[in-house]
Amino acid sequence: MTSATHRSAERIGRTEQGPRPLPGLAEPRQGWQPETVDTVLDNGLRVIAARHGSVPMVELRLRIPFAGDDPKHPARAEVLAETLLTGTDRRDRIRMDTDLAAVGGTLQATVDPERLSITGDALASGTDTLLDVLNDALTGASYPEHEVSGERDRLVERIAVARSQPRVIAREELQSHRYGDHPFAREVPQSADVAQVTAADVRELHRSAVLPRGSTLVLVGDIDPQRTVETVSRVLSGWNSENSAREVPALPPVEGGNVRLVHREGAVQSQLRFSAQAVPRTDERYPALQIANLIFGGYFSSRLVENIREDKGYTYGAHSAFEFTPGNGTILVDADTASEVTAAALMEIRYEFGRLALNPPKEPEVESARQYAIGGLLTSTSSQSGLASMLIGLAAVGLGQEWLAGHPERLRSVTVDQIAEAARWYMPTAFTGVIVGDANQLSDQLRGLGGVTLP
C-alpha cells in the first residue's frame, strides 16, 4: 500500500537467527517505604502525610463521610460540592482560584453517596496556601445566593449530559437493581430535586455534615511529614465539631439472580454489568480473592479478556474489579459489546464464571497474577498522586501505610488452594446484573439464552 517493494508478512515475521529466548528477571530492588506520619488531631481528623516523589509538588486528598437517608440529600450534596469553593468571607470565587494558581495549585470537590471528596495539588512550597484555602472553604464557605442559583441551573443540564452517557445509565441501573432504594444507590440526583435546592439548604447541610471527626486528610509529596502534620493542625484548628461525619449505612449482601435488560433506543452497543458479593479488604481471604479476580477478568492477561476480546473480538475491554465500602466488598464485572453479539458475550461471561469456580487456576496463571498484583502496587504508588489516591482509599476502610507495606508479603504467601477456594465466589448463581441496550435487537437472543428479565 505504501512501499513499492516490501517484504511479505511471512518474511517479516522470520529472522535468520530464529526465535530468541525470553530474558529472565533480575533481582528485585527492594522498594523503600516512604516516611509517613499517620495521626488523629484533637478535632477528630485523621491526617496521613508522606514524603514521596521526585517533583516539588504536594498532593491533597480529603475524604469526608457524607451519607444521608433523605431522598433530597443527593441533590443538596451535589449543589454543596459544586459551590463549596465559590466564596467565603475572605475570598470570592475568583480570589480562591487566583490564590491557588499563584502556588500552582488546584482544588476541586466531588460527592457520591458515600463521601464528599476534596482533591488538590500545589507546589510543595505552597502547601500553606493550599491548606489555607481549604480551611477557608471548610470553615467559612458562605454559599453566595447567585453562585448557588447559577450552579443549580447548570447542574440540571450537566445531569442531562451525564444521564446520556451509556456508562452512567448502566451504573445507575445496576445500583438500583442490586440495592433497591438504599441511599448507596442514589448516585446521580434527580433534576427536579436539584431545582429546589436553596442556599439555606446547602448552608445547613454544610453545618451538619462537613465535619472533621471521622474524616481523613492525606498529603503526599516533597514534604516533611511531621512538619506538615503540625501545619495542618495549626491551619485547620478552627474546624471543629463534637459530631462525627456520617458513614453510609451497611449494604445488604448482593444476591445472585436474573440479569435485567434495560432498553436504550437506538443503541449500537450494549453495556453488560454484573455484581456479586465478595469480602472486605480487611478479610483474611482477600489476598486470595484478589488473585482469583485478576485471573478471572482483573487484568488484560485474564481468562475473560483473552476469551471475549482476543479470541472472539466481541469487546474492546472487559474488566473485573472490587468495590469496597466500610465493612463490605463486592465484585463488579463489565464489558460493552455490539448489539449483534450481546447474547453470545453474556453466554461466554457466564461460562467464565463457572469455569473459574469449577476449574480453578493452576500454578502459571497464579504466578502471573501474583506478580502483577505485587508489581501493580509498586507502579501505581510510584507517583505522588498514585500514592495519595491509594492512601485515601485505604483510609476509607480503616487501613493505612502499614497495610500497604505488608501487602506484597500477603500476596506472596497465598497458596493455590486458597485461590481455588476464593474462586467459589464466582459461581454463576452468585451474580446478578443489568444489560443496557436496544431491546428491539436484543430481546429475542436474550430470551433464548434465559436468565434475563426482559422489559
Mask 262-281, x = binds another protein (CB under 8 A)? xxxxxxxx------------
Closest to another protein by CB, 17 vs 42, is 17
Burial class from Cβ neighbours inside 10 Å (0-12, 13-18, 19+) for residue 361 reads: buried
296 is a site residue for another protein (CB under 8 A): no
Under rule CB under 8 A, which residues in 210-229 are in contact with another protein? none
342 is a site residue for another protein (CB under 8 A): no
Q: Which of 97, 187, 247, 421 binds another protein (CB under 8 A)?
A: 97
Contact criterion met (CB below 8 Å) for 65 and 325: no
Q: Which stretch binds another protein (CB under 8 A): 39-47, 116-124, 278-286, 326-334?
A: 116-124
For residue 130, which of 198, 75, 57, 197 has the smallest C-alpha distance? 57
Burial class from Cβ neighbours inside 10 Å (0-12, 13-18, 19+) for residue 349 reads: buried
What is the residue-wise DSSP string for 389-445?
HHHHHHHHTT--HHHHHHHHHHHHH--HHHHHHHGGGG-GGG-EEEEEE-HHHHHHH
Q: Which pairs count as long-range contacts for 95-100, CB under 8 Å and 24+ apart, including other chains?
A: 96/133, 96/136, 96/137, 99/129, 99/132, 99/133, 100/129, 100/130, 100/133
Q: Cα(98)–Cα(162) distance, rounded to whole angstroms?
A: 29
List Cβ neighbours of 70 (8 Å cut-off, separation of 6 or more): none
110 is a site residue for another protein (CB under 8 A): no
Q: Which stretch binds another protein (CB under 8 A): 158-166, 275-283, 324-332, 446-454?
A: 158-166
Closest to another protein by CB, 274 vs 328, is 274
6 is a site residue for another protein (CB under 8 A): yes
454 is a site residue for another protein (CB under 8 A): no
Contact criterion met (CB below 8 Å) for 415 and 285: no
Q: Which stretch binds another protein (CB under 8 A): 89-97, 205-213, 247-255, 415-423?
A: 89-97
Closest to another protein by CB, 215 vs 293, is 293
Contact criterion met (CB below 8 Å) for 445 and 272: no
Q: Which of 14, 90, 227, 412 binds another protein (CB under 8 A)?
A: 14
The pairing of strands 216-221 and 269-277 is: unpaired
Closest to another protein by CB, 12 vs 450, is 12
Under rule CB under 8 A, which residues in 136-155 are in contact with another protein? 150, 153-154
Q: Which of 70, 145, 157, 402 binds another protein (CB under 8 A)?
A: 157
Q: Which of 41, 344, 347, 374 binds another protein (CB under 8 A)?
A: 374
What is the residue-wise DSSP string for 159-192?
HHHHHTSHHHHHHHHHHHHHHTT-GGG--S--HH
| Cβ density class 10-24: b for 16+ within 10 Å, e for less | eeeeeeeeeeeeeee
Closest to another protein by CB, 315 vs 328, is 315
192 is a site residue for another protein (CB under 8 A): no
319 is a site residue for another protein (CB under 8 A): no
What Rg value do the Cα atoms of the chain yield, rounded? 25
325 is a site residue for another protein (CB under 8 A): no
Shortest reach from residue 324's CB to another protein, in Å: 21
Q: Which stretch binds another protein (CB under 8 A): 23-31, 36-44, 237-245, 326-334?
A: 23-31
Shortest reach from residue 254's CB to another protein, in Å: 23
379 is a site residue for another protein (CB under 8 A): yes
The pairing of strands 216-221 and 46-51 is: parallel
What the block records as the C-alpha cell of 204 is 445547613
Q: Which stretch binds another protein (CB under 8 A): 115-123, 197-205, 389-397, 416-424?
A: 115-123
Under rule CB under 8 A, which residues in 28-67 are in contact with another protein? 28-32, 53-57, 59
Closest to another protein by CB, 158 vs 285, is 158
Q: Cα(223)–Cα(202) distance, rounded to whole angstroms?
A: 35
DSSP letter assigned to residue 316? E
Q: Which of 43, 368, 441, 453 binds another protein (CB under 8 A)?
A: 368
Q: Which of 140, 166, 326, 400 binds another protein (CB under 8 A)?
A: 166
363 is a site residue for another protein (CB under 8 A): no
Contact criterion met (CB below 8 Å) for 87 and 93: yes
Q: Which of 36, 44, 123, 356 binds another protein (CB under 8 A)?
A: 123
Under rule CB under 8 A, which residues in 421-440 are in contact with another protein? 436
Closest to another protein by CB, 40 vs 94, is 94
409 is a site residue for another protein (CB under 8 A): no
| Count of CB atoms situated within 10 Å of the CB of 141 | 21
| Amino acid, single-letter form, for residue 388 | A
Under rule CB under 8 A, which residues in 228-267 are in contact with another protein? 262-267
The angle at the Cα of 72, spanning 272 to 198, to the nearest 5 degrees, equals 130
Closest to another protein by CB, 200 vs 378, is 378
